Amino acid sequence: MNKQTNTPELRFPEFDEEWKKRKLGEVVNYKNGGSFESLVKNHGVYKLITLKSVNTEGKLCNSGKYIDDKCVETLCNDTLVMILSEQAPGLVGMTAIIPNNNEYVLNQRVAALVPKQFIDSQFLSKLINRNQKYFSVRSAGTKVKNISKGHVENFNFLSPNYTEQQKIGNFFSKLDQQIELEEKKLELLEQQKKGYMQKIFSQELRFKDENGSEYPNWKKRKIQDLMEVTSVKRIHQSDWQTSGVPFLRARDIVAYNKGDKIEEPLFISNDKYNAYSKISGKVEKGDLLVTGVGTIGVPFLIKDNKPLYFKDGNIIWLKNQKKLNENFLFYSFLSTSIQNYIKRVAGVGTVGTFTIKNAKKTPIFEPIKEEQEKIGNFFDKVDNLIKRQSDKIELLKQRKKGLLQKMFI
C-alpha cells in the first residue's frame, strides 16, 4: 500500500482514486447452509457445497455429495461460499465462487455471501482469501475451530470503485483460467504416463530394434538373482547433525518422490560416513533405495556418486552395479506388478513392513539391455515433461501471489 494514500502499490493506469473503507456485512447478504444428511447421495441433480468444496487456493472443488430434492434452495452464480469450520490449516474463511445458477446447494458450516450492487464477486473473493489469517485468528473451538457470522460481517477492507474492482477481478479470473488450463495439461501428462506404465510393463506395448524387429522375450527373475539387496550399519540419533553428509529417512524419500521439500533434513559427520562406509560400502550411481516402512515401496534412484547415508531399518538398498539400466530399474519398481507384490508381502496390519527378505524375492521381468535403455529413457523424458509442466504451474502461482500482494491493500 502507498504510505501516503489508500492505494495499492500496483494498479491499472486509468485509476487514481483512493480506495475506501468497507465492511463485509455492508456489501453482501450472509446466509447459512442447511442440514441435508438424510438427502445426501453419491449421485444426483444438485451438487452439495460442503467443507470439502473449497481448497486453500480458493478453488471450487467437487465434494462428491449430491441432492435430488427439487424443493431445496439452490445458489445463484457469482455467490461466494465461505468455509466456516477449519478441517485443515488455512481453510477457515476461504471462499470460492459459484459459477452457474441452479446447480449447487449449501450445506451446514458453509456460508453463502451474496454480493450486493457495486461489489464484484471475483475481486471480493480474492480480497477475502488474501486476508484468510483474519478469519483464522478469530476462529474458536476446542476440537474444531469455527468462525462466527459476526466476525465475517465485521471484516473491514479497502475497496476501489466498481469499475476498478471489475478490472482487477477479470484480470485474476483470466490468470486463474490460465493456471487451470496448465493444470489440466499436467493431469493429461500424468494420465498418459500411467497408461504407458501399464502397457509397457505388462508387455502389451513393446519397443523394437533399429531394424523394426521384435526384441527377445523378457525373462522373469527375482531381484536377488540380479543384485545384492542389503542395508547399512545403524546410525544412532546422537550422531545426527545439521550439516555434513545427507542422511535419508523413509519420509525423505517419500518427499522426494512427491517433489516436496524435505522438512528438517538430517546429516552425519564425514568421519562417521567414512568409517561406516568401510563396513557397509558406499551408495553408488544407479543404485536404488526403497522405503520399507511408512509409505512402503517408494523407490529413490541414486543419480550421482555424492556421499549419502540412510536409516538402516527404514530403507532397503539395491546394489545395482549396472546389472540393470538404472532408469528401467527405477520405473520397474513403480509398476503395478511390483507395487502389488510389495503391498501383498508387507501385510495388512496397521504397520506394514517391506523387509530385505521380501525385497530379495521381488519378481521382475528383465528385457535385454537395449530394450531396458529405451524404456528407461522413454519414461525419463516423460517425467522431464511432467516436471517442466509442474514448474510452469508453480511459476504462474508465484506470479499470482506476487500480484495479489501488490494489487490489493
pLDDT tens readout for residues 110-152: 999 999 999 999 999 999 999 999 999 999 887 888 999 999 9
* Among 331, 344, 316, residue whose Cα is nearest residue 228: 316
Where does 294-367 have alpha helices with state H?
A: 326-332, 336-346, 356-360
Where does 16-161 have alpha helices with state H?
A: 24-27, 121-130, 132-138, 149-153
Tell me the backbone φ, ψ of residue 391, rounded to 5 degrees: -65, -40
Is residue 349 over pLDDT 60? Answer: no
How far is it between the farthest Cα atoms of the chain? 77
User: What is the Rg, in whole angstroms, of the alpha carbon atoms belonging to the chain?
Assistant: 27
Asked whether the beta carbons of 282 and 313 are under 8 A apart, the reply is no
**β-pairing verdict for 104-106 and 46-49:** parallel
Burial (CB count within 10 angstroms: exposed 0-12, middle 13-18, buried 19+), residue 5: exposed
Asked whether the beta carbons of 318 and 329 are under 8 A apart, the reply is yes
pLDDT tens readout for residues 13-66: 999 999 999 999 999 999 999 998 889 999 999 999 999 999 999 999 999 999
Give SS3 for 237: helix
Cell of 254: 517419500
What structural domains does the chain harbor? 21-159 (3.90.220.20), 161-213+367-409 (1.10.287.1120), 219-366 (3.90.220.20)
Global pTM value: 0.87
Query: If phi over 0 gives left and psi between -120 and 50 gives alpha, with beta otherwise, what is residue 326?
Result: alpha
- pLDDT of res. 1: 55
Quote the mean pLDDT of the chain: 94
